[in-house]
Amino acid sequence: MRKPFIAGNWKMNTNSLTSVGLADHLASGSIELEGHAVTLAVFPPFVYLRAVGKALNGSNIAIGAQDVYFEPDGAFTGEIGVSMLKDIGCNYCLCGHSERRHVIGETDELINKKVAAAISGGILPILCVGELLKEREASQTNEVVTRHVKEGLAGLSAEKLAAVTIAYEPVWAIGTGLTATPQQAQEVHDFIRNLLARMYDKNLADEIRILYGGSVKPANAADLMSQRDVDGLLVGGASLKADDFLAIIRTAL
Ligand code: PGA
């Protein structure tokens, strides 16, 4: 059985006061969640990670980074390495979020290095994959997702794959209010799981969690979570409102 995983990606939002306020609200709201088998994590901006981690200390909500660099240390101005994330208590990091692919220009090759470095350094990566609207309209969804998954995981042993979570986030659904229907999500999740089974083996593929992301709200979370291969949700906008994020978490219990 795959344990559900609800993650909140705060993107470039909040400040030193509101990030801790949101974390405090989540920490008190999460008391009712104790004892439930669910993985929870939030991904605040780098500069607030430590304060948010402190506010969430003692709760069952972990912290993760929105990105990471693959080199261990050195002259890489502006970058943050895996050991720095470990040092401040991070458990997870996003790799290849669509905004990093399409706004910042990250390639599959770079994303692959980040995934591999994260695992080697003890941080669990969430590899984000997903097609643009024009790619969906041209029936290229499977092709794009195959490239993101194969190249993102290139060279990873089965043992290392076990540390990975995949997030399917169709770019046309991110921040647009357009959500993939539960059937559309299930179709792609099933496709990804079969792809993993071909790349590795079926038992391992059955253990890997595949999250859906893209305009997840309290109103659509339960339907998405009801799908067989939707193992969790990566929530952007709605994770900035504690009550909405807690309502989304409840759909996973
Ligand atoms: P959204 O973002 O929920 O605001 O659409 C999801 C994401 O980009 O992870």
> 149-173: per-residue pLDDT in tens?
999 999 999 999 999 999 999 999 9
pTM above 0.95, yes or no: yes
Residues forming beta bridges with residue 94, ordered by sequence position = 126
Find the 148 Cα to ligand 1 centroid distance in Å: 18
7: phi then psi, degrees, rounded to nearest 5: -125, 140
Atom of ligand 1 at shortest distance to CA of 99? 8
Atom of ligand 1 at shortest distance to CA of 215? 5
Q: Which two tokens stand for residue 47?
A: 């500069």
* Secondary structure, 3-state, 181-237: CHHHHHHHHHHHHHHHHHHCCHHHHHHCCEEEECCCCHHHHHHHHCCCCCCEEEECH
Over range 180-201, report the average pLDDT.
97
**Percent of residues, the chain, with pLDDT higher than 70:** 100
Using a 6 Å cutoff on CB, does residue 229 contact ligand 1? no
| CA–CA separation, 151 and 11 (whole Å) | 24
Using a 6 Å cutoff on CB, does residue 230 contact ligand 1? no
| CA–CA separation, 238 and 8 (whole Å) | 8
Cβ–Cβ < 8 Å for 64, 40: no
| CA–CA separation, 70 and 36 (whole Å) | 34
103: phi then psi, degrees, rounded to nearest 5: -95, -45
pLDDT digits 0-9 by tens, 90-146: 999 999 999 999 999 999 999 999 999 999 999 999 999 999 999 999 999 999 999
Atom of ligand 1 at shortest distance to CA of 238? 3
Mean pLDDT, rounded, of the chain? 96
Q: Map residue 27 onto helix, strand or coil.
A: helix
pLDDT for the residue numbered 220:
97
Using a 6 Å cutoff on CB, does residue 248 contact ligand 1? no
pLDDT digits 0-9 by tens, 6-34: 999 999 999 999 999 999 999 999 888 88
| CA–CA separation, 114 and 130 (whole Å) | 18
Find the 73 Cα to ligand 1 centroid distance in Å: 30
Using a 6 Å cutoff on CB, does residue 179 contact ligand 1? no
Find the 29 Cα to ligand 1 centroid distance in Å: 22
Which residues are catalytically annotated? 97, 169
pLDDT for the residue numbered 1:
80
Using a 6 Å cutoff on CB, does residue 213 contact ligand 1? yes
Find the 237 Cα to ligand 1 centroid distance in Å: 6
Find the 138 Cα to ligand 1 centroid distance in Å: 23
pLDDT digits 0-9 by tens, 199-249: 999 999 999 999 999 999 999 999 999 999 999 999 999 999 999 999 999
